[in-house]
Structure 1
Amino acid sequence: GGSADAISMSAAEVTRRLAAWISPHRGFLVLAAVSSIATVILQLWVPIIVGSAIDQLIRLVQGAEAALLPTLAQLSLVVLLASATQWLASWSTNKLTYLVTRDLRNAAHTKVANLPLSYIDTHSQGDLLSRVVNDVDQLGDGLQQGLTQFLTGVVTIIGTLCFMFYMSVPMGLVVALATPLSIIVASAITKYASSSFSKQQGYQGQLGGYAEEMVSNQELITAFAHKDAIIEQFEAINEKLRVVGERAQFASSLSNPSTRLVNNFIYALVAGLGCICVLTGVPSVLTIGQVQSFLSYANQYMKPFNAISAVVTQVQTAYASARRVFDLLDAKEIKPDPVDAEVIQNPQGSIEFDDVAFSYDPKHPLLSHISFKAEPGQKIALVGPTGCGKTTLINLLLRFYSIDSGAIYVDGHNTQKLTRASLREQFGMVLQDTWLFKGTIKENIRYA
């Protein structure tokens, strides 16, 4: 629940489950993929046209025939088309992300409404709220950034490699062989940061839950002079969050500059080799325009690695949040009433506990061999110290919890065989906590 421990769920499992939520809206995913591919193809076409324009300009300066204006017109058209497809890719990705987060938030909210009281009692309200609101938001941000970079990144890497090998096999090999170094650096840092981000999300939920409970019970804290202890506990959790947060942010911040360092080294290597090719024709013959095109491809080839490393923080946070959301969605719901469940007709008000046993924790029995009968019209008070089981009896009577053994009867009906709605309609329950809703004093008294 509010624990800061990482919820056990592999990245592959999180990805598989996210894919299941994306599936109903796969039309937008297909549109995003197609428009992203079109954008990359058009953007990869630009360096060829620019290289051709440079060569045309050199020929024009040298007094030879050159088709510079048609080349520039072609360049303008390609840039406009690339901008249009890029906008379409961004729109479809955003649409997909918001639809998925809407579905997840609705599912999480519905789940909370169907959770048994035993789950609510053992999980702080602030942590549940954090999962339904904050974690789903974090997941959406990471999903949007991750999809954008993944869709364009994969196509860009494959496309630029093909173009570079087409222009010069030796120079293409230099880029391809140096690539694993960048991948190894990024993956090593990502792996190190993953566990820290999971713990960070856990502590955020724990801190939110603790703060919500303390603010809600401020009157009790003041009445019992418990302020100093509360502040001390809050600062302890906050300090744990600071330590884990610093570790996670530091690890993720290493990723982008590290990959950029490797990629800039590759770019410099390609530039040097390109100059040698122009001057000597070894290992391949290239024009100045072709070298410019190749450098543009090398730069575009490295961009996905830089971009992915730049959003690694959001993606890691999204995966940690997804684990918490799916952990909530996997929680066991209230068992539905059986098909043959009975409905109380003409209630009289007889209640009987017959050898009832119950424990919140199997290792620590709370109630055992409880038997009594309350006849209609009787007034019975349950008196005892805090924690002896007074409220527990009411929870068992209303089937907020299931008994371990024995039976409870209402008007001779076993409560386990009654519908919950029929059973609870027979009771009026006044909670221990006072609550004033917005209205007049008269309306509050009348409601009570």
Structure 2
Amino acid sequence: MADSNMGKRPAGSGFNGTRKKGGRGHGPGGKMMPGEKAKDFKGTMKKLMGYLAPHKFALIAVFIFAIASTVFNIISPTILGNATDKVVEGLMSGTGIDFTGLFHILMVLLGMYGLCLLFGALQGWIMADVSQTVIYELRDAMSKKLDRLPLKYFDRQTHGEIQSRMVNDIETVNQTLSLSLTQMITSFTTIIGILIMMLRISVIMTVTALVVLPLSMLVIKLVVSRSQGHFKNQQKYLGYVNGHVEEMYTGHDIVKAFNREKESREVFDAYNDKLCESGWKSQFLSGIMMPVTMLIGNLAYVAVCLLGGYLAINGKVSIGDIQAFIQYVRSFNQPISQVANVANQLQSTAAAAERVFELLEEEEEVDLEKTPVCQIAPEEVRGKVAFDHVSFGYDADETVINDFSFTAEPGQRVAIVGPTGAGKTTIVKLLMRFYELNGGCIRVDDHDIRDFSRADLRQMFGMVLQDTWLNSGTIRENIRYGRRDATDEEVEAAAKAAHIDHFIRTQPKGYDMEINEEANNISQGQKQLLTIARALLADTPIMILDEATSSVDTRTEALIQKAMATLMQGRTSFIIAHRLSTIKDADHILVMNHGDIIEQGTHESLLAQNGFYTNLYNSQFAE
């Protein structure tokens, strides 16, 4: 039962705009830029199609309904043209309008509109179900994958990068599945259908209408090429503004303490000016695309009207056909623009899906599917821990722990001390198998820790860290995180043992007080006491205390030390400390430096050696 933030890299960043990048050429926080392309478009789309394969019958139905809806929509102008011809025929012949025939035509038209709506609604409903199912499966697979990834993966990834894959990239894929695929089908069907209907009415009018098409596509290409760079800058500076605001908000007390408000405003103004400039240019360029394409379309519209009038006078086409043709010309540009947009969207989707699949294909922790050799209940663990010639490095070419050997007997209190970077916390990470050893082995009760399942192994440990971690929720829920089945009485008993019960009861809602998302509505010392209560509630055979009392005052520290002494009775305990005054009563002290044990013994024996430990101790108490 680990109360742990170990191995996680902080998401924070420097002030005044200095911040961690999302990595791999993406925008701030790992956010993908518009128009970004996948490295392997075909391979990525093939993998995505693999998730759609189980829904092939539903997709076939969507395809049929989309085509049917589009076909009915395409035929409708021709039927409306027949109605117009019926009216013109009656007026021109002098016999009057055939209202019965006109009514039948209008009923057919109404029925086609109804079928168009029905098929459109059906394909939208089915596609929404398919897309949400696939996205659910992807999110579920990513969530499970994150639980199976080794801690070293999180060491090399920023929080923003992982969140971007889980949220932004998944949502990009979702938008394509739910909207773009059906839009692609309907757009292609519409283009082909309109061309067929236009050619059926008049070949020469169709050629006239299509003459302006290359000009329209050229304008779209020019505008998109000019605006895309501004859109990228807009996204980039939007990320900078968001990051700067977040940094200034979370560190507002530091900003005020160092009188850096002016510098903060200057940085924000610089980012905001760039965002405003790029946003104005991108919106202006994208905004003029529609008026320009409409102008070009109107030229085609005028040419068709003039030519259609000439052909109608010469009896080559009917007035109803001209009306239908004009509707087709009006409708022709829209699906072409949609196809161009969907093609661009597919590029972004492939890039987003590729990032999702990269995470899903990351190397997992070893032996996850292996049947554990040892299955010992936590209450049966005696607590003997042995390190046998352990060596380890976070990188293959940089060893942190060289040749570490030590045995902690059941119930022994072992303190690990040494300068920063000596390898103290690394020893604990290896003990809980957050990382795999490069050499040697670690044993619990004479069993190699690799013979346990990770869940069983970590249930043997309670942990309190210097960096406290509390989630949003009540105080009771945060303490109960140590043991989910604990009763309210057990939760309160743990709080009393951690000397936090009195503080809790002074709050308006007591144990039901809500801790906010950033846990900044309680002090650092109170947060530390709550994590200690959580570890007390876990009641594990082995305890790990990493600077557990560093954030509390001297009086509270004394009370906690007394409670910890009671807690550690009969339990093997590893105490990592910089303040050597807190580990005087340890049964055994390991002094580490550069990944090796350089001295060991009790507090008194180490002082008597007058060596490295003595220098450390004296440096903390020198006048």
Residues 124-181 of structure 1: per-residue CA shift (max 9 Å, x gap) = 3344334323432343234323123212111111111111122222223344565455
- Residues 206/60 of structure 1: CA separation in 2 closer, same or farther (3 Å cut): same
Query: What is the CA distance between 1:364 and its match in structure 2?
Result: 3.7
- Residues 277/13 of structure 1: CA separation in 2 closer, same or farther (3 Å cut): farther
Could you say what the CA RMSD is over the residues aligned between the two structures, in angstroms? 4.2
- Helix, strand or coil at the partner of 1:392: helix
Aligned-partner residue type, residue 266 of structure 1:
A
Q: Distance in 2 between matches of 1:320 and 1:251?
A: 25
Q: Distance in 1 between matches of 2:323 and 2:221?
A: 31
Structure richer in helix, relative to its length:
1
- Helix, strand or coil at the partner of 1:15: helix
Contact 1:2 1:203 in 2 (8 A): no
Contact 1:204 1:241 in 2 (8 A): no
Contact 2:23 2:161 in 1 (8 A): no
Match of residue 312 from structure 2: 278
Query: What is the CA distance between 1:407 and its match in structure 2?
Result: 2.7
Q: Distance in 1 between matches of 2:85 and 2:408?
A: 100
Query: What is the CA distance between 1:393 and its match in structure 2?
Result: 1.1
Residues 3-42 of structure 1: per-residue CA shift (max 9 Å, x gap) = 2614853444443333222222333322222121111111
- Helix, strand or coil at the partner of 1:429: strand
- Helix, strand or coil at the partner of 2:443: strand
Aligned-partner residue type, residue 56 of structure 2:
R
Structure with the bigger RCO (C-alpha within 8 Å, sep 6+) is 1
- Helix, strand or coil at the partner of 2:429: helix
Contact 1:35 1:85 in 2 (8 A): yes
Match of residue 40 from structure 1: 70
Contact 1:53 1:68 in 2 (8 A): yes
Q: Distance in 2 between matches of 1:366 and 1:350?
A: 24
Structure 1 length normalisation: TM-score?
0.80
Indicate which of 444, 450, 462 corresponds to 1:416: 450
> Which is further off, 250-259 or 428-437?
250-259
In the alignment, structure 1 residue 62 sits paired with structure 2 residue 92: yes
Query: What is the CA distance between 1:254 and its match in structure 2?
Result: 6.5
Indicate which of 112, 116, 122 corresponds to 1:82: 116
Match of residue 567 from structure 2: none
* Identity within the alignment, %: 31
Match of residue 438 from structure 1: 475
Contact 1:190 1:312 in 2 (8 A): no
Query: What is the CA distance between 1:368 and its match in structure 2?
Result: 2.1
Q: Distance in 1 between matches of 2:233 and 2:48?
A: 21
- Residues 63/224 of structure 1: CA separation in 2 closer, same or farther (3 Å cut): closer
- Residues 144/135 of structure 1: CA separation in 2 closer, same or farther (3 Å cut): same
In the alignment, structure 1 residue 330 sits paired with structure 2 residue 365: no
Q: Distance in 2 between matches of 1:213 and 1:397?
A: 35
Aligned-partner residue type, residue 137 of structure 1:
E
Query: What is the CA distance between 1:271 and its match in structure 2?
Result: 2.9
Indicate which of 324, 328, 331 corresponds to 1:293: 324
Query: What is the CA distance between 1:391 and its match in structure 2?
Result: 1.4
Contact 1:263 1:302 in 2 (8 A): yes
Aligned-partner residue type, residue 147 of structure 2:
A
In the alignment, structure 1 residue 306 sits paired with structure 2 residue 337: yes
Match of residue 196 from structure 2: 162
Indicate which of 420, 423, 426 corresponds to 2:460: 426
Query: What is the CA distance between 1:343 and its match in structure 2?
Result: 0.7
- Helix, strand or coil at the partner of 1:368: strand
Query: What is the CA distance between 1:400 and its match in structure 2?
Result: 0.6
Q: Distance in 1 between matches of 2:136 and 2:103?
A: 50
- Helix, strand or coil at the partner of 1:62: helix
Q: Distance in 2 between matches of 1:239 and 1:364?
A: 43
Query: What is the CA distance between 1:411 and its match in structure 2?
Result: 3.3
Indicate which of 102, 113, 132 corresponds to 2:136: 102
Query: What is the CA distance between 1:371 and its match in structure 2?
Result: 3.0
Match of residue 386 from structure 2: 352
Match of residue 15 from structure 2: none
> Which is further off, 356-365 or 105-114?
356-365
Query: What is the CA distance between 1:111 and its match in structure 2?
Result: 1.9
Q: Distance in 1 between matches of 2:47 and 2:129?
A: 19
- Residues 120/296 of structure 1: CA separation in 2 closer, same or farther (3 Å cut): same
Contact 1:5 1:202 in 2 (8 A): no
Match of residue 5 from structure 1: 25
- Helix, strand or coil at the partner of 1:380: strand
> Which is further off, 259-268 or 223-232?
223-232
- Residues 140/255 of structure 1: CA separation in 2 closer, same or farther (3 Å cut): farther
Q: Distance in 2 between matches of 1:319 and 1:330?
A: 16
The equivalences for 1:219-298 within 5 A come to 222=254, 242=275, 246=279, 256=290, 259-280=293-314, 285-298=316-329
Q: Distance in 2 between matches of 1:325 and 1:233?
A: 37
Match of residue 508 from structure 2: none
Match of residue 30 from structure 1: 60
Contact 2:241 2:268 in 1 (8 A): no
Residues 300-333 of structure 1: per-residue CA shift (max 9 Å, x gap) = 2222123445678866665554344333323222
Residues 260-314 of structure 1: per-residue CA shift (max 9 Å, x gap) = 4544443343333323322456xxx222221111121222222212344567886
Match of residue 51 from structure 1: 81
Residues 35-76 of structure 1: per-residue CA shift (max 9 Å, x gap) = 211111111221111222222211211235554333223222
Q: Distance in 1 between matches of 2:278 and 2:415?
A: 51
Q: Distance in 2 between matches of 1:211 and 1:336?
A: 43
In the alignment, structure 1 residue 124 sits paired with structure 2 residue 124: no
Q: Distance in 1 between matches of 2:362 and 2:241?
A: 21
Contact 1:352 1:373 in 2 (8 A): yes
Aligned-partner residue type, residue 302 of structure 1:
N
- Residues 344/51 of structure 1: CA separation in 2 closer, same or farther (3 Å cut): closer
Q: Distance in 1 between matches of 2:179 and 2:460?
A: 53
Long gaps (5+) in structure 2 = 1-20, 27-31, 33-37, 477-490, 499-532, 537-623
Q: Distance in 1 between matches of 2:118 and 2:76?
A: 15
Contact 2:432 2:457 in 1 (8 A): yes
In the alignment, structure 1 residue 72 sits paired with structure 2 residue 128: no
Query: What is the CA distance between 1:119 and its match in structure 2?
Result: 1.8
Residues 316-353 of structure 1: per-residue CA shift (max 9 Å, x gap) = 66555434433332322222346464216564433333
Residues 349-378 of structure 1: per-residue CA shift (max 9 Å, x gap) = 333333333222334432323333333343
Match of residue 523 from structure 2: none
Query: What is the CA distance between 1:79 and its match in structure 2?
Result: 2.1
Structure 2 length normalisation: TM-score?
0.60
Q: Distance in 1 between matches of 2:197 and 2:158?
A: 56
Match of residue 149 from structure 2: 115
Contact 1:197 1:320 in 2 (8 A): no
Q: Distance in 1 between matches of 2:199 and 2:290?
A: 27
